[in-house]
Amino acid sequence: MVPGMGAVATTFMAGVEAVRRGIAEPIGSLTQMGTVRLGKRTEGRSPKIKDFVPLANLKDIVFTGWDIFEDDAYESAMHAGVLEKDLLKKIKPFLKSIKPRKAVFDHEYVKKLDGTHVKKGKNKRDLAEQLRADIRDFHKKSKVDRLVMIWCGSTEIFLKQGAVHESVAAFERGLLKNDDNIAPSMIYAYAALMEGIPFANGAPNLTVDLPVMLELSKKNYAPIAGKDFKTGQTLIKTILAPGFKARMLGLNGWFSTNILGNRDGEVLEDPGSFKTKEESKLSVLEHILQPELYPQLYKDFYHKVRINYYPPRGDNKEGWDNIDIFGWLGYPMQIKVDFLCRDSILAAPIVLDLVLFLDLAKRSTELRGLGIQEWLSFYLKSPMTVPGLYPEHDLFIQLMKLKNTLRHLRGEELITHLGLEYYD
């Protein structure tokens, strides 16, 4: 179930169908293509992840979504222009069958958008109840056993955690009073968690990153993960920065700029939505480089991130990075990265993996009561953690954490990479 049936959501849906029909490969999906090494390097045991843990099969996935526009998944995918028309035409009846439900939406939270396919209600509580009714309706009609919700809606304006988010009781009072600090995405998250359904947040909005949601998640055994899909420039950042730190290379500055022309880019032109995104993108380097531990290398590095809406590019973003590093005796060097990427192509496999892993977490007695699924940080720009714990941003540590979680679930030995035993 996907609130927001735009570029990412439809690329995900169309991609799953194309893979099911054998007309494309699920490139970029760890659950579909990845392996996990078990035991010693000499044992040669590396099953596919999907054969190692009981993940749902792609053929059993059924989709629904919500949007403020009435376009079905076919029309929306054509509008997004990510996938080739030829591919979309091959799966047209499937995509046409996914029609968005009316959204819970308020222009105040996404200033660049306005739509008519929107629910009306007495108050936010009423809107939450309408979403819960949608969820039950989909559950009944689709005849699926289990559900997962993943936010692929637009980035909302920057909001801070406040008193209304402190507990379920405060949040429910806030829903009745139409509290301004309750954004639409939070109403979806609340509805899902009340129904005991796992929720992932692909945008940088607060949404589930709140005490109320953690409380509900634990109480109703509905795992949560967020926030902000790690694609494009931030993905590259979390690949390069751990390398600099590993080799004790210093950083003077990192200037990142993007041009993109999709609807996401248009929404991010609004300063409120951009601030939400900026916060998410900026925190990455601080956490990876740990200036407090390495002041000679990383104290006071300059970090700037810019996003520019440039319509001709559509979804095919261009991300430039200028990186000023320094080496032995402080001698400066520069690295330039020009990544001609496709945002939704990078995001779609993340959506799939998050859905399958959250569904696994829901079925795991060990994971389902934990609330935040930190082992899924691998997929996210601003990984959620329990209060007081700093997030792990290094992609390779995140991958190790994910795979070790899977090994742990199946009672396999964790891999530490110590390796002394080979030399006994």
Ligand X SMILES: NC(=O)c1ccc[n+]([C@@H]2O[C@H](COP(=O)([O-])OP(=O)(O)OC[C@H]3O[C@@H](n4cnc5c(N)ncnc54)[C@H](O)[C@@H]3O)[C@@H](O)[C@H]2O)c1
Give the residues lining the site for ligand X (CB under 6 A). 3-9, 66-69, 80, 103-105, 110, 113, 115, 152-155, 184, 202-203, 228-229, 231-232, 262-264, 267, 343-344, 346-347
Measured from the CB atom, the residue of 9 and 216 that comes closer to ligand X is 9
Give SS3 for 411.
Answer: coil
Smaller CB separation from ligand X, 245 or 263? 263
> Least CB distance from residue 341 to ligand X, whole Å?
8
Residue nearest ligand X, CB atom distance: 6
Which residue number, 262 or 373, has a Cβ lying nearer to ligand X? 262
| Positive or negative torsion for Cα 120, 123, 127, 133 | negative
Closer by beta carbon to ligand X, 156 or else 374: 156
User: Would you say 174 or 349 has its CB closer to ligand X?
Assistant: 349
**Residues 6 or more apart whose Cβ sits within 8 Å of residue 95:** 10, 13, 14, 17, 72, 73, 74, 77, 88
Long-range contact pairs involving 119-127 (C-beta distance under 8 Å, separation at least 24): 123/175, 123/176, 123/177, 123/178, 124/174, 124/175, 124/176, 124/178, 124/179, 124/182, 124/187, 125/172, 125/175, 125/176, 127/187
Nearer to ligand X, 128 or 346 (CB): 346
Q: Are 100 and 117 in contact (CB under 8 A)?
A: yes
Q: What is the closest distance, in whole angstroms, from the C-beta atom of residue 271 to ligand X in the complex?
A: 15
Please, what is the minimum distance in Å from the beta carbon of residue 399 to ligand X? Answer: 19
For residues 162 and 206, give the distance between their C-alpha atoms in angstroms, rounded to a whole number: 11
What order of strands is seen across the sheet that includes strand 101-102?
A: 2-3, 65-67, 101-102
Minimum Å distance from CB 207 to ligand X?
A: 10
Q: Which is nearer to ligand X, 64 or 217 (CB)?
A: 64
Nearest approach, Cβ of residue 267 and ligand X (Å): 6
| CB distance 45 to 61 below 8 Å | no
Least distance to ligand X, CB of residue 332, Å: 32
Closest contact distance (angstroms) between CB of 264 and ligand X is 4
Supply the minimum distance, in Å, between the C-beta of residue 11 and ligand X: 8
d(CA 146, CA 359): 8
Q: Between residues 38 and 149, which has the closer beta carbon with respect to ligand X? A: 149
Choice between 113 and 415, CB closer to ligand X: 113
Cβ closest to ligand X, residue 4 vs residue 250: 4
Answer yes or no: are the C-beta atoms of 289 and 251 closer than 8 Å. Answer: yes
Quick one: which of 155, 153, 154, 175 has its CA closest to 164? 175
The radius of gyration of the chain's CA atoms, rounded to the nearest angstrom, is 22
Taking the complex as a whole, the smallest distance from the CB of residue 67 to ligand X amounts, in Å, to 4
Q: What angle do CA 187, 191, 195 make, to 5 degrees?
A: 165
Rounded to whole angstroms, the Cα distance separating 280 from 283 reads: 6
The kind and range of the H/E element at 323 are: strand 318-326
How far is 203 from 74, CA to CA, in rounded Å? 23
Closest to ligand X by CB, 229 vs 254, is 229
Residue 329 near residue 280 (C-beta atoms within 8 A): no
Return the structure tokens found at 61. 């996935």
- Kindly give, in sequence order, each residue whose CB lies less than 8 Å from that of residue 262, ignoring residues fewer than 6 positions away: 7, 80, 81, 314, 315, 343, 344
The minimum distance between CB 109 and ligand X, in angstroms, equals 7
Helix (H) or strand (E) holding 9: helix 7-20
Residue 220: strand, helix, or coil = coil
Q: How far is the CB of 307 from ligand X (least distance, A)?
A: 10
What are the angstrom distances between the C-alpha of 59 and each of 18, 22, 199, 287, 415? Answer: 11, 11, 21, 39, 32
